[in-house]
Amino acid sequence: MTKHRSEPRFDPESPCPCGRPAALVECCWPRLAGRLPAPTAEALMRSRYTAYVLEHAEYLLLSWHPDTRPDALDFDEPLKWTGLQIESTEAGGENDSEGTVTYVARYKLGGRARKIREKSRFTRVDGRWVYVDGDIDD
């Protein structure tokens, strides 16, 4: 079952989960609400992380490449996302058509701290950045 939240689970004036020094309402929320496209692959990565924090399945699916997108997302596991660190970007700028973003996302599951490190691939479809896939480091 796909859960979807159309509004943030916390105060939009609170700091954006993506790690930028801005309020959610000024940072990633306009992208999640469909009002502002991501200008770069990194901006899309940050907004997708925020969408995971907020369990915003619709945005995640819409920002996923149609060839690799799953049919649905499941937020049944009780994850608590605790931080995003962008390690590097390759291309993915405003004038690029492809790019990669390597990041570490931290979370808690069952009270235990964990992390995911992924090198994500992005491309443009109809002029908009979308997530294609990624390689996760174990």
- pLDDT number for residue 10: 59
Do the domain assignments include residue 108? yes
Helix (H) or strand (E) holding 1: none
Q: Is pLDDT above 70 for 47?
A: yes
Do the domain assignments include residue 1? no
- pLDDT number for residue 101: 98
Q: Is pLDDT above 80 for 82?
A: yes
- pLDDT number for residue 76: 80
Cα distance between residue 78 and residue 19, in whole Å: 21
What is the number of structural domains in the chain?
1
CATH number of the CATH domain containing 107: 3.10.450.50
Contacts of residue 43, defined as CB under 8 A and 6 or more positions apart, other chains included, come to 31, 129
- pLDDT number for residue 2: 43
Do the domain assignments include residue 78? yes
Domain hosting residue 92, numbered range: 24-137
Q: Is pLDDT above 90 for 78?
A: no
Average pLDDT over residues 31-43: 96
Cα distance between residue 119 and residue 37, in whole Å: 22
Is 19 within 8 Å of 43 (Cβ atoms)?
Answer: no
pLDDT 10s digits, 83-114? 999 999 999 999 999 999 999 999 999 999 99
- From residue 12, alpha-carbon distances to 15, 17, 136 in Å are 8, 10, 31
Cα torsion at 31, 36, 39, 43 (round to 10°)? -20
- pLDDT number for residue 9: 55
- pLDDT number for residue 3: 44
Residue 94's CB: how many other CB atoms inside 10 A? 10
DSSP string of 70-85?
Answer: -S-----S-EEEEEEE
